[in-house]
Copies of this chain bind each other. A is one copy, B any other.
Amino acid sequence: MMKLPDPVQKVVDNLSDLPSIGPRQAVRLAFYLLGEKKESLRVLAESIDGLRGIKTCTRCFFIHQREGDLCDICANPARNPRIIMVVEKETDLLSLENTKKFTGRYFICGPIPKTGFIEPWQKTRLESLKRHIEEGLGGQADEIILAFNPTTLGDFQTSLIMKELVPLAKKISRLGRGLPTGGEIEFADDETLGSALERRG
C-alpha cells in the first residue's frame, strides 16, 4: 500500500483496531473523514474523548452519568431489586430493556471468554453480585434470570454460572426457547423446532 501521511495512517490504524471494521473500510472511512468539514472532525473527536467521563455502575456494571455510584436502573425505586437478569453485555441489556417487559434489575457479567469457562475477572464480578444479594437482599433474590445467547458457548457458561448462583435465588430461570417471531418452520433448525415443541402452550 502506498504510504499515507502519518496523521491519516494513524486514523486508519486506530479505526482498524475497532471490532467489525476491516482495513479497507478503515481507509475508506479515513478518506471520508478527510472530506468532512474541519468542524465535524472536531465534533467527532470531542464526542469520542467525552466517553472518558462515563462511569460504570458499581452494582450492575452498566454505564451511567449520575452523581452517585448507581446507574439509572439500579437507582430507580420503581424497579424490583429482587429480580435480577444476568446478561453478557451492555448491548444485550439495551435489547432486553427495549422490550419494556422487564421491571427488575440487571447484572452485566461481561463478554463470555472463548473457552466458556469463568475467568478470574468474571469471578470478581460474580462475587460482587453475591455480596450485593447477601447484604442488600438478605441472602436470596426472588429470581435470577440467566439471559445469555442461546449458543453452545452461552449455554455452557449458563450452566457454570447457574451452579454459582443456585444458593442465591429462590428461582433461577433462562430465556424461553422456540421459534423466533417471523421465522418459518421449514427453515428452523432441529434444536429450535424441538424447543418449540417441548415448550408449546
Contact = CB atoms under 8 A, between A and B. Distances in A.
A21 B29 CA distance: 10
A91 B28 contact: yes
A186 interface: no
A51 B34 contact: yes
Interface stretch (A4-12, A113-121, A163-171, A172-180): A4-12
Copies of this chain: 2
Given A2-B94, A8-B63, A28-B20, A41 B34 contact: no
Nearest to A28: B91
B45 A7 contact: no
B91 A31 contact: yes
Nearest to A38: B52
A196 interface: no
